[in-house]
Structure 1
């Protein structure tokens, strides 16, 4: 895609086009004609044209002013009261007043000994509008116009407008849009005002139909142009737009052509000519480049000279260029950059490394001398943050790895930028290091941030016969009141769910970066509406969470809490769950819970990373003394591979496993015949009598049947689930894996989850499909399933799907939409091709 010029470059280009003075007139003393004649003087103020005779101005009168004050005119007028008015200074006065650009007509007259200056002001721009522009953004264009004085409230100069039109046409031509049509319109208003409208019809960029490299014999043209931004039409042109001609892109590609040969040892490579032809309809472009390849050279010797600051042998280790290698400018640049980066990390911010070649054309060899010029050692005077209107400076400052009054370190500055990006508070983070005026060894570090939504607000209200009135309010803020704390409050109520929760996390509870958080919740939930087995729960929990960073990328966390979970089965509840509850002998489970985790995060962005890795290992344990004793292990992995500016590959995997570690519990159960309905006409569960000793026979007279039940393995309410937007898209949420055998209630039985979860994904992101960091498209392949224990794992049971997804950080909140087609499925799998998640943001 064509890179748009910066606002300053655009303003500079326009300013150069307007560098000639708008008016520069000289005249003999007397009347100077203008575009509009000034209003006639009243008899009592009538004046006569100046004569060639000099006189002393007893007073100066300014006529014809509407918006400009008399004092402003007198400031620019080189004649003052009491000065002698001569032929020379009247000419200077006229030039000075015209030079201000305020007036379209100026006349000097005399009324007795009074110098009369009559002016006709230029109209003021009431409104400036630009329409039809897409390639150059309106904000960028208007700011460029403002920088040269063409903006609302400024005086209007038609000559400036004409030259701006010419400059804009040139800018669009450089982008390959030769059919651009720019029409400025000026509308006269009352009180000497005008409205200016610049209507732009950009048209389509000319397409590159053919690229011809004359003289390229040693390499295939396709290999040479692999990384070009200007190429003939291909199957990816709809995305990369590399078949659209642009002068800037072509200049960059010619530099890539030069680098291609220099990186492969062709020191004598030369660009002989470059020609660009355009078709008669200005739609097709034909590019021809003539080149001379020359011969291939090798490296003869390598040395390092100059003030290396560090021991010479340490610097030489940074040089990857070796004798007898094929000459490569890229390797020279990498070696130079490596030395420069090393010196910049110890304070030498302006260090330079100049590779000086010595060419022997007879032997076709090149000797390289890396000359090191460290420059002064620099320290950082101040660290400044701009653009953080909500977030306090303290939140940003604690992420800094570069400190004030410390030696300059490029690595620390870059690392600080990454840490700011990973907070999730900012859409963009840019850094500048301007030198301190008057000092050669001090710089300031300026971080310019653009804040984005860092929280979510979800409100729902609905009604249905199934669930009745449903209300929900969820408020979460990752940057609460700009202090960096995370707060979440949720209240939700319907016929099948009641939930109230609160969580708080202070990521910098101590100055060393230890975090402290709290979680509280109470919930009643009917799982039969959650695509899982049919039962309901009432649970409450209180937890405390500690986090401690152990390196720049690694951290450990510790959770400790207590919770209670009461299970209420239904007549449709699977028998395996009923048996588990009866074996435990209680429908209420209490747990002392702890979780230990380790995470490594090297991603370069919080919301839409393009590089880096995320890993997390956690171990959860229901401590001895809990109703049931079990553990859960989980491992998450995600890596982003930046294949090119147009493609980013993400590989993800998650493995979870859980089991009990205490003794299995067995009981002898006597089942009696159920009463079909109770007084409220609701089904009742079978009568159950539990024998304390499983070895004892059933003591109930005429039981329908009796059996021994055992509670073992991971509790059913802690099972893993798969399927849906967060695991295997294209399958309904939580429906993959083992199911119950109760075919009377569901054809395939109810989803039970499993103690082993294996899921993964390959996802290709297209970060340049939109001119925004807030949205991106991807294609993906998901796979995975859950199993009832490791022994039951079978690769043939893994499900897979493929599809496309949109991730959008919309003004109302983050939205994820996917459409997937199952690649591997079984009869009875619940398919859901279109899926989405939504959270409103503020």
Structure 2
């Protein structure tokens, strides 16, 4: 059963107070008293004296006494007597009722001075301040808003009767939530100038817990099977999270409906709940539930008949009917059949189509004959598509995601697809995109489709607020906008500096360069990188690149993208500090500056239902990155990413993720032979070596030294694993092959040409009320390997832990704590890992 939102509960709680009769309706008006006899409840000391008339008379004038805040004009507006009217006792009684009905007055009295009608009133006080304390289950904002809706708010006229009724109804609502120890103490403090302060002090107490549930009369099914899907349950070890042991009348009502459905889905047409007893312990802490059942007999389906206007060929509609003659009756199959027919008709414009199942029960034969009456209603055209709540994002950006068009026939599939596409933009709060269909007044065949959204942070501004355990404090200025000026374009400008990196970059992407959805973008960046501070091999690099990005949508979920660019990378190594394999690779090429014509071709399929916090759907991406002939080094990298979200229940979402990578060189390997020159001869190169094609080709007087070969994926393109975004619990980039430099025993991470990383992560989306925060439990696994021949399952690393992700006002925060389950002797561990940055 879906929980009723807090706002709705509050409205229900205050509904009685909102419709309660005003104080005037509780008084019996005596016509004689109206002509001068003061009611016993009236504060006579405050009333102005007026002579009592002995008979009816004609009003020559009207005077109002006792007013403080309310103007006389307001009284005359509601008073059903005017100058020149002839009045008697019944007219006076009617006038008193009318003034009481306004709710402005505690007491009303009418008298006569000559032919002047004297109206004497005592105003109700105004509420100076209204405060609510102690409430947790119902938020103060919601509570005060509900009170304001019935006139109980600051500046309004105070009505004690309404306050008493509100107190009683709120107590009932807390009782319905299982909190029977609740105490609500209203306090009214009188102030000068006819004002009062009103305070509601709430002691919610603890919800009563269900200690025992007993079903009586279930002979066919075990109680555990019947109550398995209930929201109410006896106290258990998961109750601290599920809160299923807290009694609630609404939850119990929903559970009774589930119980009824359970039997009806299995053919028990005569099933009934005969009695429901709820007992509470003297201390109001424990609840005991007892239900008496009558199961009845199993019924079979004797016939199924389709009637009404099916619109489509009857044969095609009949194929959707899941209920067949001879089957055990099942209401679930009947509902699925109705929903399938309604959805099919809704997709061709019949937005208000209905399917009415009409059962005919034969209790002697234990059979049910079913007639499915199809009522298509009028075919509906969408007049307008309207967007509300988009304060930054332009209508054009949202409209281009629409698959339901104005002037077209209504289609539920198109509307649902439009909603998903809006959610996947990442511009709106998770789950905030809501769709409403509003009939157009004066016509039966037109509707407006309204998309209500709530915008979220779509940009970031980082200035000296970044921190991670890998890089330490990051001094940076970064401005990025995924929705630049509400246009949907993505723009990023960055200047960043920390202990290992200087980076300046600019990127731009227009996701709708053409109306057909072709995207076009550009990337420019320059970077100085010191790997010795990055948990990788010790060398430094200076690089720059210019790229053009192109994306082409193939289907609703599939996209092909291409990247073409030119980059330059200068590598600096240090013999004795840099691992020998890296130095040898550089020497084999006799080049420290690498120029590359680089291209990437990728295919992606994204069926996730949300960009920020998906709960279902799949993301797949395959990419091939390669350098073109003419580059200093010719290589390729193949990547495959897969992520699928499985909604286990409302409170559990499982994410399965895998990230694979492989890279290698292509073409001829670079080979360099070193020959040592004889002493006394000038060196042929700064290193004292000269290159030859083979050892036999060494120059006269020189001897063969060694042969170096540059092959495989370049070391500066290697894959890395370990860290907060990979295998948590291990230091960033430290998994995989390691090597030391000459004369050193310190093993430096090198990365590898093969990457295998994956994760199983269970999200708990309802654990926090805020959609910006979520917690998860995970198992990460993976490693990187030098090449394919080095891949061994026994070398895979595994960790498990919990993580918290929070889109805080200061920026996205990620915190994880992991325990390595499988590790190596030389692995560097880091159980607690976190990062954060600034955002707006």
TM-score (norm 2): 0.94
Aligned counterpart in structure 2 of residue 508 of structure 1, from 494, 509, 512? 512
Distance 1:469 1:398, change over 3 A: closer
Aligned to 1:499: 503
**3-state SS of 1:625 partner:** coil
Distance 1:22 1:523, change over 3 A: same
Matches within 5 A, 1:146-225: 146-225=148-227
Matches within 5 A, 1:697-716: 706-716=705-715
Return the alpha-carbon distance in structure 1 between the equivalents of residues 371 and 398 of structure 2.
43
Shift, 1:708, TM fit: 1.0
Q: Deviations over 1:304-351 (max 9, x none)?
A: 221100111111111222233322111111111000111111111111
**3-state SS of 1:451 partner:** coil
**3-state SS of 1:49 partner:** coil
- How many residue pairs end up in the alignment? 822
Return the alpha-carbon distance in structure 2 between the equivalents of residues 701 and 575 of structure 1.
28
Aligned to 1:801: 799
Return the alpha-carbon distance in structure 2 between the equivalents of residues 672 and 738 of structure 1.
35
Distance 1:282 1:495, change over 3 A: closer
**3-state SS of 2:739 partner:** coil
Distance 1:146 1:531, change over 3 A: same
After TM superposition, the structure 1 stretch with the greater mean CA deviation from structure 2, 590-599 or 6-15, is 6-15
Shift, 1:296, TM fit: 2.0
Q: Quick check: 1:471 aligned with 2:475?
A: yes
Distance 1:568 1:37, change over 3 A: farther
Return the alpha-carbon distance in structure 1 between the equivalents of residues 247 and 461 of structure 2.
45
After TM superposition, the structure 1 stretch with the greater mean CA deviation from structure 2, 538-547 or 300-309, is 300-309
- Is the Cα contact below 8 Å between 1:591 and 1:622 reproduced in 2? yes
Aligned to 1:15: 15
Aligned counterpart in structure 1 of residue 454 of structure 2, from 450, 453, 459? 450
Aligned counterpart in structure 2 of residue 622 of structure 1, from 621, 627, 651? 627
Shift, 1:56, TM fit: 3.3
Shift, 1:699, TM fit: 5.6
Shift, 1:617, TM fit: 0.8
Shift, 1:712, TM fit: 0.9
Aligned counterpart in structure 2 of residue 760 of structure 1, from 758, 764, 767? 758
- Is the Cα contact below 8 Å between 1:4 and 1:136 reproduced in 2? no
Return the alpha-carbon distance in structure 1 between the equivalents of residues 452 and 402 of structure 2.
14
Aligned to 2:77: 75
Return the alpha-carbon distance in structure 2 between the equivalents of residues 314 and 437 of structure 1.
34
**3-state SS of 2:408 partner:** coil
Aligned to 1:113: 115
**3-state SS of 2:23 partner:** coil
- Is the Cα contact below 8 Å between 2:465 and 2:838 reproduced in 1? no
**3-state SS of 2:640 partner:** strand
- Is the Cα contact below 8 Å between 2:6 and 2:138 reproduced in 1? no
Aligned to 1:421: 423
After TM superposition, the structure 1 stretch with the greater mean CA deviation from structure 2, 713-722 or 435-444, is 435-444
Unpaired runs of 5+ residues, structure 2, are 679-684
Distance 1:462 1:776, change over 3 A: closer
Shift, 1:87, TM fit: 2.7
Return the alpha-carbon distance in structure 2 between the equivalents of residues 207 and 409 of structure 1.
46
Return the alpha-carbon distance in structure 1 between the equivalents of residues 530 and 264 of structure 2.
69
Q: Quick check: 1:645 aligned with 2:650?
A: yes
Aligned to 2:681: none
Matches within 5 A, 1:192-591: 192-427=194-429, 428-460=432-464, 471-494=475-498, 496-571=500-575, 572-591=577-596
Q: Quick check: 1:595 aligned with 2:605?
A: no
- Is the Cα contact below 8 Å between 1:671 and 1:686 reproduced in 2? no
Matches within 5 A, 1:688-727: 689=689, 691=691, 693-695=693-695, 706-727=705-726
Aligned counterpart in structure 1 of residue 663 of structure 2, from 643, 658, 667? 658
Return the alpha-carbon distance in structure 2 between the equivalents of residues 589 and 312 of structure 1.
70
- Is the Cα contact below 8 Å between 1:545 and 1:560 reproduced in 2? yes
Aligned counterpart in structure 2 of residue 27 of structure 1, from 22, 27, 30? 30
**3-state SS of 2:392 partner:** coil
Return the alpha-carbon distance in structure 2 between the equivalents of residues 263 and 745 of structure 1.
73
Return the alpha-carbon distance in structure 2 between the equivalents of residues 467 and 224 of structure 1.
55
- Is the Cα contact below 8 Å between 1:668 and 1:697 reproduced in 2? no
Distance 1:421 1:577, change over 3 A: same
Return the alpha-carbon distance in structure 1 between the equivalents of residues 161 and 688 of structure 2.
97
- Is the Cα contact below 8 Å between 1:38 and 1:119 reproduced in 2? no
Return the alpha-carbon distance in structure 2 between the equivalents of residues 411 and 166 of structure 1.
46
Shift, 1:666, TM fit: 0.5
Shift, 1:413, TM fit: 1.4
Shift, 1:359, TM fit: 2.9
Return the alpha-carbon distance in structure 1 between the equivalents of residues 791 and 473 of structure 2.
42
Aligned to 1:681: none
Shift, 1:741, TM fit: 4.0
Unpaired runs of 5+ residues, structure 1, are 42-46, 674-684
- Is the Cα contact below 8 Å between 2:47 and 2:120 reproduced in 1? no
Q: Deviations over 1:453-499 (max 9, x none)?
A: 12222222799xx9999621222221222222211121112464211
- Is the Cα contact below 8 Å between 1:519 and 1:543 reproduced in 2? yes
After TM superposition, the structure 1 stretch with the greater mean CA deviation from structure 2, 308-317 or 23-32, is 23-32
**3-state SS of 2:333 partner:** helix
Aligned to 1:678: none
**3-state SS of 2:721 partner:** coil
Return the alpha-carbon distance in structure 2 between the equivalents of residues 647 and 470 of structure 1.
35
Return the alpha-carbon distance in structure 1 between the equivalents of residues 163 and 688 of structure 2.
92
Distance 1:774 1:162, change over 3 A: same
**3-state SS of 2:749 partner:** coil
Aligned to 1:3: 3
After TM superposition, the structure 1 stretch with the greater mean CA deviation from structure 2, 342-351 or 8-17, is 8-17
Return the alpha-carbon distance in structure 1 between the equivalents of residues 94 and 771 of structure 2.
55
Aligned to 2:682: none
Shift, 1:104, TM fit: 1.2
Shift, 1:36, TM fit: 4.4
After TM superposition, the structure 1 stretch with the greater mean CA deviation from structure 2, 350-359 or 796-805, is 350-359
Matches within 5 A, 1:803-818: 803-818=801-816
Q: Deviations over 1:698-719 (max 9, x none)?
A: 669889x831111111111111
